[in-house]
Amino acid sequence: MNSIEISNFKNFRHLKIDNLGAVNLIVGKNNAGKSSLLEAISILASGGNIGWIKNLLELRGMPTRYPFDTQEVDSKEQENFRTLYHGYDCNNFKTDPIKITATDTSTLLPLENTVEIKLIEVVDIVDVGENGTEITRRVPKEYLDEDAIISSNPQPALLITFNDSLRTMYVLGQNSRRYYIIDKNTPFEYVRTAEFTGEKNPDLFDRIALTSLEPELIKALHIIDNRIEAINFLKDIRPASLGRNEDNRVPFVVLSGKSDKYRLSTMGDGINRVLTIILSLLNSRGGILMIDEFENGLHYSVQQELWGLISDLARKLDVQVFATTHSNDCIKSFLHATGESGKSRLIRLEKRDSGEIAVVYDEPDELDYIANNDVEIR
């Protein structure tokens, strides 16, 4: 994508960012909207998938599945989902939807994808078929004809569209018990702030094992420890409650000159963070990788080499990368590794009286000056 425009989503009343790059590092003060930007991008990449949206809420500590249907559940779900809306304003959520639009002008015909999320009320209506059979349908209340026969009280629901086509009509409370598959319109992976062990890592590794991409993973691990010769995920002998993966597999490595296998978790958070980031990147071919607070667990001395590898792999695999940081060391490392490529962008989010803005730094000379001088850009 070359640009993204976001309306009414979390921190953003309205935000538009043009001239996005292949690798983008997002900075800004606390509550400027860095993580919100990643979440908006991920929702768009999912095509407005309700399973992914519920997953984002769960990651923020808000349950979205309940064992029973009650009015209390309706209220709780509405409370949780309204946190997606700017200012938590349910009334505006009903009239002015969340809208996330990305534009790609790199093709002969510019492409535009849009997700809209709106809070509505739905009712059951009764239609009478040709043979006199009554058929009950659930429809948005705002679409009703004056002579419609209503057979239920209005229920709150989310109406989600992707490129003007209905994606989901999710009835709050009544749909909470269902499990929704996370379907991706565009391949993407989302690496969370404190994600070191990576619950999805065994599955992500299986997809690249014994392929031309597996050596790229070993190369990345060498940034932390160049003794690593091989890696595999093996069954954890600890109780499942102490394990970190549903299939109870954890990464082990073989070191040069050693006959034993070593659990990767004993080698520090940094190498496990690298594992999670690179596995996610290798599984995002032709799509998007998002990394929240890139620097977590990583010493400043390894970040420049890691950024260089990420930039190279993103180019080879056609992956667009978005990462956030609070760290000046991370910014400097990013700029030294990618600034001369012409493909990287440093994006600063700011809150002003007029609203949220994004300042995009993209000129190589400008990026070089920031990298080599004491310029406060965070």
Domains defined along the chain, listed by start: 3-120+163-171 (3.40.50), 188-372 (3.40.50.300)
pLDDT at residue number 77: 79
Task: Tokens 């990583």: give the residue.
Answer: 298
Q: How far is CA 226 from CA 220, 229, 271, 334, in A?
A: 9, 8, 11, 22
DSSP notation for 96-116: S-EEEEEEE-SSSS-EEEEEE
Residue 378: what pLDDT?
62
Q: Where are the alpha helices (DSSP H) in the chain?
A: 34-45, 50-59, 71-81, 90-95, 201-208, 214-221, 269-282, 300-317, 328-338, 364-372
pTM, full prediction = 0.90
- What pLDDT shows up at residue 61? 84
pLDDT of residue 243: 43
Per-residue pLDDT in tens (0 to 9) along the chain, 378 residues: 999 999 999 999 999 999 999 999 999 999 999 999 999 999 999 999 999 999 999 888 887 766 555 556 667 777 888 899 999 888 899 999 999 999 997 766 678 999 999 999 888 888 777 777 878 777 888 877 766 667 678 888 899 999 999 888 888 876 555 556 666 778 999 999 877 677 899 999 999 999 999 999 999 999 999 999 999 999 887 665 444 546 689 999 999 988 899 999 999 999 999 999 999 999 999 999 999 999 999 999 999 999 999 999 999 999 999 999 999 999 999 999 997 778 899 999 998 887 889 999 988 788 877 877 766 676
Q: Which residues pair with 234 in a beta bridge?
A: 250
Q: Which pLDDT score, from 0 to 100, does residue 151 have? A: 66
pLDDT at residue 238, as a whole number: 67
Residue position matching structure tokens 């989600």: 160
Cα–Cα distance between 2 and 16 in angstroms, integer? Answer: 11
CA distance 48 to 114: 9
pLDDT at 109: 64
pLDDT for the residue numbered 134 = 77
3-state secondary structure of 22: coil
Give 316: exposed, middle or buried? Use CB within 10 Å, 0-12, 13-18, 19+. exposed
Q: What is the reported pLDDT for 372?
A: 76
